[in-house]
Structure 1
Amino acid sequence: MAAFGRFGSVTLRAVALCALVAVAGCSLTKDDDSVDEPDIPAGQMYNQGLTLMQNGKLKSAAKQFEQVDQQHPYTEWARKALIMTAFTNYRLGNYDETVNSAKRYISLYPSSPDAGYAQYMIGQSYFKQIPEVTRDQDATKKAIAAMQEVVDKYPNSEYVDDAQKAIVVARDQLAGKEMQVGRYYLERKEYPAAINRFKVVVTDYANTRHVEEALYRLTAAYYAMGIVPEAQTAAAVLGHNFPDSQWYKDAYSLLQTGGVSPSENKGSWISRTFRSITG
């Protein structure tokens, strides 16, 4: 997933949590192992987890935070430990565990100030698992859905801006997947199947960088099928919205080989789609 940007607020928020909840005077662990003695006070156990985490012993820290939750359920320390369990697992790359802990946190503490943070970690966990465009994009769809919940349910959260940026990147990925499949069909001259894929890009992902190529590919596919008016419309819409695009120049040249030029049919689905987008 190296091709995707990183959003850094997860780490910053966790550091802030550590600073806010540390308890002065608590004894700390002396080795890598979490402490599972049942009589240790919840605050002390929690601080031991913080110390392990700050010393880079994330696995032990995650285990320690889990024990706080298990041994002192429904306490304020358990609440704090649960969000830190999600964070330490995120740092470890244990994204499924992060999602499970964060979802449990939201379920138990939906009105907590950190609920938006938990939801953001869910989105980030899926975002980090977005695969190459040639593979199944289930994680991409889950990332969009989770980040959209940050925007919709926690509009005042400090993570809204990052969530919106992640949605833009993930939607571009889904459009890229449709283009990849569409090109596959186009190369094999399976024109109706190719058109269906490019149509999805135009109707659902018109605000991504792939829409210009999608309109060109529609021009090519319709022209190859002999449906010249639709080819002309795709090229005309491309030229109207992206006049300086190389894809428009290619579409124009393609039509010229048959002695026709871009010409928009206002009744075409392509024309109607772009009118609805541009208002």
Structure 2
Amino acid sequence: MRRYLYILFFALALTSCSEYQQALKNDDIAKKYTVAEKMYDKGKYTKAIRLFEQIAPSYRGKPQAEKLFYMYSQSYYKTEQYYTAGYQFDSFTANYPTSTKVEEAAFLSAKSYYMLSPSYSLDQVDTYKALDKLQLFIDNYPNSQYMPEANTLVKELREKLEKKAYSIAKQYNDISEYNNDHTAAIKALDNFILDFPGTIYKEDALYYKLDASYKLAINSVESKMFDRLQTAKANYNALIKFKADSKYKEQADKMLANIDTELQKISK
């Protein structure tokens, strides 16, 4: 019985393959459409794409076009060709605004750009583009069934940008060990805290701001040291006010002790 089933399966596979190859070479666009739809329904999206590519220009403006371009867009999405999928879904929503699939297409367009968003350490152009697309979807379809997922994707992207911004600000402090430009580090960390007031990295940013201001003060010329020590002490207080049991408290307390020692020297 297994042998017969195997032979039957093999025969069907050959027939399907033969039908696809014939459709590729056939000039009959209706035949290509039929086979392309079969490939799509079977999940053979790469094969479907090849046929859709051949017939798409001929079907523009025809009754079957809406379904064809929906399947065409989905095929790119299913094969993880997200740049092209995003473009095709955008085109679909523009050309078929009254389609029952337009909401889904708009969401998948935005999600395609989300899928292109790279690691936080890389350039975030695609992340900003994805956020714009998702926000546009949220504005246009506030009651959509896809809204919970859209909000989740937006949250993930914003957290990625937040992490990127923090890593850049912290990098200024890391680099200051070598170029002694502690002022640039303080400014970068200040800007980060202002831009992301509710950030999960606030404790870290406050500590590194203290670190940078402490190093700037300790290494200052005498005429500027007093004011800079006072600023560093204020930054210590800001950290402890934010989190009294900060994970950085031991290092911060050592800095404070040195700051007070230097202030006492100046007072004498």
Is the structural similarity TM-score above 0.5?
yes
Contact 1:172 1:210 in 2 (8 A): no
Match of 2:48 in 1: 61
Deviation at 1:104, TM superposition (A): 0.8
Aligned counterparts of 1:73 and 1:207: Cα–Cα separation in 2: 50
Match of 1:124 in 2: 111
**Partner amino acid, structure 2, of 1:114:** K
Q: List alignment gaps of at least 5 residues for structure 2.
A: 1-14, 218-227, 262-268
Deviation at 1:38, TM superposition (A): 4.1
**Partner amino acid, structure 1, of 2:259:** G
Pairs within 5 Å for 1:22-33? 30-31=16-17, 32-33=20-21
Match of 1:97 in 2: 84
Contact 1:69 1:77 in 2 (8 A): no
Contact 1:72 1:78 in 2 (8 A): yes
Match of 1:181 in 2: 168
Deviation at 1:69, TM superposition (A): 4.1
2:204 to 210, 213, 217: 213
Indicate the structure with greater helix content: 2
Aligned counterparts of 2:212 and 2:245: Cα–Cα separation in 1: 22
Match of 1:156 in 2: 143
Summarize the Cα distance change of 1:233–1:170 in structure 2 as closer, same or farther, 3 Å threshold: farther
2:182 to 191, 194, 199: 191
Deviation at 1:139, TM superposition (A): 1.2
Aligned counterparts of 1:119 and 1:252: Cα–Cα separation in 2: 54
Summarize the Cα distance change of 1:225–1:93 in structure 2 as closer, same or farther, 3 Å threshold: same
Q: Which moved more, 1:207-216 or 1:84-93?
A: 207-216
Summarize the Cα distance change of 1:118–1:193 in structure 2 as closer, same or farther, 3 Å threshold: farther
Summarize the Cα distance change of 1:55–1:141 in structure 2 as closer, same or farther, 3 Å threshold: same
1:226-270 deviations in Å (ceiling 9; x for gaps)? 34555555555555555555356765664454249xxxxxxxxxx
Q: Which has the higher contact order (CA 8 A, sep 6+)?
A: 1
Q: List alignment gaps of at least 5 residues for structure 1.
A: 1-28, 261-279
Match of 1:146 in 2: 133
1:54-109 deviations in Å (ceiling 9; x for gaps)? 42321122234455643332345312222222221112121111111011112212
Summarize the Cα distance change of 1:214–1:52 in structure 2 as closer, same or farther, 3 Å threshold: same
Deviation at 1:192, TM superposition (A): 3.2
Equivalent pairs, count: 229
**Partner amino acid, structure 2, of 1:83:** Y
What SS does the corresponding residue of 2:142 show, helix, strand or coil?
A: coil
Aligned counterparts of 2:234 and 2:101: Cα–Cα separation in 1: 50
Summarize the Cα distance change of 1:39–1:202 in structure 2 as closer, same or farther, 3 Å threshold: same
**Partner amino acid, structure 2, of 1:151:** I
Contact 2:86 2:112 in 1 (8 A): yes
Contact 1:144 1:167 in 2 (8 A): yes
Aligned counterparts of 2:127 and 2:250: Cα–Cα separation in 1: 32
Contact 2:29 2:55 in 1 (8 A): no
RMSD of equivalent CA atoms: 3.1
Aligned counterparts of 1:171 and 1:239: Cα–Cα separation in 2: 27
1:204 aligns to 2:195 (yes or no) = yes
Aligned counterparts of 1:162 and 1:231: Cα–Cα separation in 2: 44
Aligned counterparts of 1:248 and 1:154: Cα–Cα separation in 2: 48
Contact 1:178 1:200 in 2 (8 A): no
Aligned counterparts of 2:191 and 2:27: Cα–Cα separation in 1: 57
